[in-house]
DNA sequence: GACAAGAATGACACCAAGTGACAATCTTGT
DNA sequence: ACAAGATTGTCACTTGGTGTCATTCTTGTC
């Protein structure tokens, strides 16, 4: 099963390299202080070429959450339609839980998160990505569970998302591996089944 | 009780005028298509002066939610500490409910909302403002209700916020006056008391 | 291995959002 | 009327981002 062409794979490699370089600079000098010119120069390319790999400076940092969103939606789609909605959503969010449980990329991941948290512009973009994921999940759920009214659907998905964000804020800085447990706990505590 | 100085009041008047002019242009030509130069010219001032009244183009549209946030936090602060947290939050959100129930400024308000909804950049900023309000509410609640752990606090506030957003999306386009009822309904349905 | 088609790159000019600095003008209280 | 302080305009500048076009690489093919 060959999904990606060779050129696409190369493109992904360049994007990854660009991300590493950029995040390094962001961590060292701050996001706003780091110009796209500086990133491009550090990566040995022109500013114009940088923008052919990333549509904006934001995307370098936010990209991770776009792919995470795709994975979450995909996993949600794999759940049975007769499973209680909360459980299906919780299962889909294992994508995030597993991501943070992976100790290998832990330091890299926390660098991303710190940059996002420190930069209002990026925090806003991040919340927008989250809300996009929620919308996709709600749309998906509307098809598989037509008996649930849209308002209830949106609220439930949003509430579960809020629990994830709360758990992340509470747990990630100290013990990221405890995210799953924290999420289960807070979910049971605040969202009606 | 004179809180505002005369010059501050004048400043507010200019800001309001600027907002009206800008939102008109946004509604007519689109947010991104409308340059700050165009707004400033329409208002008879230089671009530089525009930026002395609003720190960014976004703020013209988002400003409403900043003051709304202040009002929500203020009203929350006025609730008794022994009131169940959900009820206190719900009461604070009456600021929003009342805002949309006011038929007078209804068309103006929906113009704002449409511009925000149509512009990803503004949607992101809007979500950021909402999360700022939630953080303020959580911080406030942490003081008055020290017995509730921070994680639970954040999750509850976030879940209530998600219900508000869901209710707004569901109800505002057709019957904005029904926001309060819809919020009560969805809140009872999805958030654990 | 040469060669043509197509993709990736660089260079350059351009636009729009902000910002800093400074001089000019307008409001004030006296 | 006048001095002090605030408001404004002008101008130059930085930065993110885009359109265009010529140049250079990659390719698959013969």
| Contact present, B60 and B22 (Cβ < 8 Å) | yes
Any chain B CB within 8 A of the CB of A84?
Answer: no
Q: What is the pLDDT of residue B4?
A: 52
Residues in B touching A154 (Cβ below 8 Å): 165-166, 169-170
Task: Encode pLDDT of A65-89 as tens digits.
Answer: 999 999 999 999 999 999 999 999 9
pLDDT tens-digit series, residues A104-148 = 777 888 999 999 999 999 999 999 999 999 999 999 999 999 999
pLDDT at B142: 98
| Residue A26 burial by Cβ neighbours in a 10 Å radius (0-12, 13-18, 19+) | buried
pLDDT tens per residue, chain B (193 residues)?
444 556 677 899 999 999 999 999 999 999 999 999 999 999 999 999 999 999 999 999 999 999 999 999 999 999 999 999 999 999 999 999 999 998 777 788 899 999 999 999 999 999 999 999 999 999 999 999 999 999 999 999 999 999 999 999 999 999 999 999 999 999 999 999 9
Q: Which nucleotide has the shortest C1'-to-CA distance from A51?
A: D17
Q: Return the closest nucleotide (C1') to the Cα of B55.
A: C18
Given a contact cutoff of 8 angstroms between Cβ atoms, the answer to whether A159 and A93 are in contact is: no
Predicted TM-score of the model (pTM): 0.95
B46 touches strand D (CB under 7 A): yes
- pLDDT tens-digit map of B74-90: 999 999 999 999 999 99
Q: How large is the C-alpha radius of gyration of chain B?
A: 18
* 3-state class (DSSP) for residue A45: coil
Report H helices in chain B: 6-29, 36-42, 47-53, 57-77, 85-92, 94-101, 106-118, 120-144, 150-171, 179-190
For B176, residues 6+ apart whose C-beta sits below 8 A from its C-beta are: B100, B101, B106, B109, B110
Q: Do B186 and A150 make contact, defined as CB atoms within 8 angstroms?
A: no
Nearest chain B residue to A117 by CA: give it: B128
Using alpha carbons, list the distances in angstroms from residue A93 to A86, A123, A171, B71, B104: 11, 20, 15, 34, 43
Q: Among B143, B172, B1, B163, which residue's Cα sits nearest to residue B79?
A: B143
- Chain A positions in Cβ-Cβ contact with residue B125 (cut-off 8 Å): 124
């Amino acid at each position: 099963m060959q999904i990606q062409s060779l050129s696409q794979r190369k493109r992904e490699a360049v994007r990854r390299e660009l991300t590493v370089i950029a995040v390094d600079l962001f961590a060292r000098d701050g996001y706003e202080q780091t110009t796209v010119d500086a990133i491009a120069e550090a990566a040995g390319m022109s500013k114009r070429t940088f923008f052919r790999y990333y549509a904006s400076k934001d995307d370098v940092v936010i990209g991770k959450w776009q792919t995470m969103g795709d994975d979450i939606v995909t996993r949600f789609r794999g759940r049975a339609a007769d499973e209680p909605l909360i459980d299906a959503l919780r299962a889909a969010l294992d994508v995030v839980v597993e991501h943070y449980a992976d100790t290998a990329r832990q330091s890299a991941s926390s660098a991303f998160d710190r940059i996002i948290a420190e930069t209002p512009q990026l925090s806003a973009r991040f919340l927008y990505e989250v809300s996009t994921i929620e919308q996709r999940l709600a749309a998906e759920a509307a098809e598989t569970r037509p008996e649930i009214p849209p308002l209830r659907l949106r609220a439930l998905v949003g509430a579960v998302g809020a629990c994830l964000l709360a758990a992340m804020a509470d747990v990630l800085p100290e013990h990221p591996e405890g995210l799953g447990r924290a999420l289960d706990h807070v979910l049971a505590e605040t969202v009606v089944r």
